[in-house]
Amino acid sequence: MDYELIIGFETHVELKTRTKLFCGCAVEDGAPPNTHICPVCTGQPGALPVLNKRAVEHTIRAGIAMNCTINRRSRFARKNYFYPDLPKGYQISQYERPFCENGYLEIQNDEGRPYAVGIKRIHLEEDAGKLVHSAGSFEASDYSLVDYNRSSVPLLEIVTDHERNPLRSVNEARAYLEKLRQTLIYIGISDCSIEKGQFRCDVNISIRPEGALDYGNRAEIKNMASFKFIMEALEYEVKRQLKILHSGEEPSQETRLFDEQKKITISMRSKEDAPDYRYFPDPDLVEFEIDQEFVEQIRDGMPELPDQKVNRIIKTYRISKKDALILTKDKNVSDFFERCAASCDDRVRLSSWMIKDLFKLLNEAAITIEKCPVPPKDFAILINLISKGDITDQIGRTVLEIMFETGEDPESIIDKRGLRPIQDEKLLERLMKEVISENPEAVNKIKDGMKNPIDFLIGQVMKKSEGKANPKKVRELIHKAFLQ
């Protein structure tokens, strides 16, 4: 029997706002514990929430980017549960009437075709505080401290639709997460830093016989941040659930935990233990009415989305789609490319040098393009020099390495280190004659009509010139020598 996989995500994203969702406390990463708190975000009796307008704008922006219906009327609800990092005893979230519903996010599916992944809803809620355990784990700790700086920081929750175009493979799941993160960064509503926990997911997965109408029982893995661990957890779950199905049993509906060391998931709680949050509309926050003009204003101010950027870059700079996709993955990379392209005509060479050579140096140094020691202006000059044949590719690579190390501009590096190519034809001819007399075997083969030794001889001349000869010129000279 063939089986069908259904993967769902509830992704929590920390929004980039100056202040918290319901009070004026600053949102500041890394601040000393409990320095950005007030009666509202620590749940003191009688304190009343006031909604942050910027957080609502960001939510609508996300809704527009993901092709959602923006609900005219929406409301906040209390999600009741107890935990020491939640001083009110409830989290303000949205239940019925979220801000955005029924959208989609286009990815490339396993067949390489566009696939509009269903987005069920996007809603706004507040984050909880943070427990800091005295030891590495809760079990090993003598005590835990609580830091409310994060309490009431605005979070966006994006929920995929398990009925309408769900994710059907681990690869699609990865493509979705990457596209979602890219889109949210592009529209400027979150930095989505995985290290800082600004992008976290609850992942659920179920398997059913192909063509079945009912859904299989799903396993949910909570609070995952690393893409690598999410993929590992999903791969493990596929195998585990298939094994159960093949034995004629049914996987149970449960919440599971991913063990990062052992790369397995472990049962945490079953359906029966699932908490009942007793959602009800928050009486402190009135129903929210969004007027059309507000939505249109946000729509008019929308920045370019990743897909729009890919299309524009292909059209404007005439580079391949493959290169355009790589260059637009990170917005800062595409900005760098466009700044270079402004003073560089050979865009195909520019993109290839960025992807192959500059990325290699950045990877080796483990730095991002924002910290790249080579400014776009100088990188464009280097590409122009190579493009005009003023320096060879090989010298270009050496120059780039020095630029990367010292931050110097390419022309002064070339002058200082005598890397200008050999223009002197007499000198090239001399080098060529030396090579010919040193390699009689290759010469005889060429005379017998073989082609390969020509490349060998060119290589030898290049070597003698320390890479400073122009290979095109050398080829011309060698051809001339054998035609005579």
Binding site for Zn ion (CB under 5 A): 23, 25, 38, 40-41
Distance of alpha carbon 402 from alpha carbon 374, whole angstroms:
10
Least distance from C-beta 15 to Zn ion, angstroms? Answer: 16
Contacts of 346 (CB under 8 A, 6+ apart): 383, 384, 387
Place of tokens 């005893």: 89
Least distance from C-beta 188 to Zn ion, angstroms? Answer: 24
Residue with Cβ nearer Zn ion (41 or 458): 41
Least distance from C-beta 191 to Zn ion, angstroms? Answer: 21
Residue with Cβ nearer Zn ion (103 or 129): 129
Residue with Cβ nearer Zn ion (30 or 248): 30
Least distance from C-beta 41 to Zn ion, angstroms? Answer: 3
Least distance from C-beta 151 to Zn ion, angstroms? Answer: 8
Residue with Cβ nearer Zn ion (27 or 413): 27
Least distance from C-beta 23 to Zn ion, angstroms? Answer: 3
Instruction: Fill in the amino acid letter for 398.
Output: T
C-alpha neighbours within 13 Å on the C-beta side of residue 164: 15
Residue with Cβ nearer Zn ion (147 or 254): 147
Distance of alpha carbon 208 from alpha carbon 211, whole angstroms:
8
* Pair 49, 284: CB distance under 8 Å: yes
* Pair 324, 314: CB distance under 8 Å: yes
Q: How many residues does the chain have?
A: 484
Least distance from C-beta 314 to Zn ion, angstroms? Answer: 47
Question: Quick check: helix, strand or coil at residue 161?
Answer: coil
* Pair 157, 12: CB distance under 8 Å: yes
Distance of alpha carbon 128 from alpha carbon 461, whole angstroms:
68
Distance of alpha carbon 375 from alpha carbon 369, whole angstroms:
10
User: What b/e sequence results for 370-395 when a residue is b if at least 16 CB atoms lie within 10 Å of its CB, and e otherwise?
Assistant: eebebebebbbbbbbbbbeebbbeeb
Residue with Cβ nearer Zn ion (40 or 414): 40
Residue with Cβ nearer Zn ion (38 or 454): 38
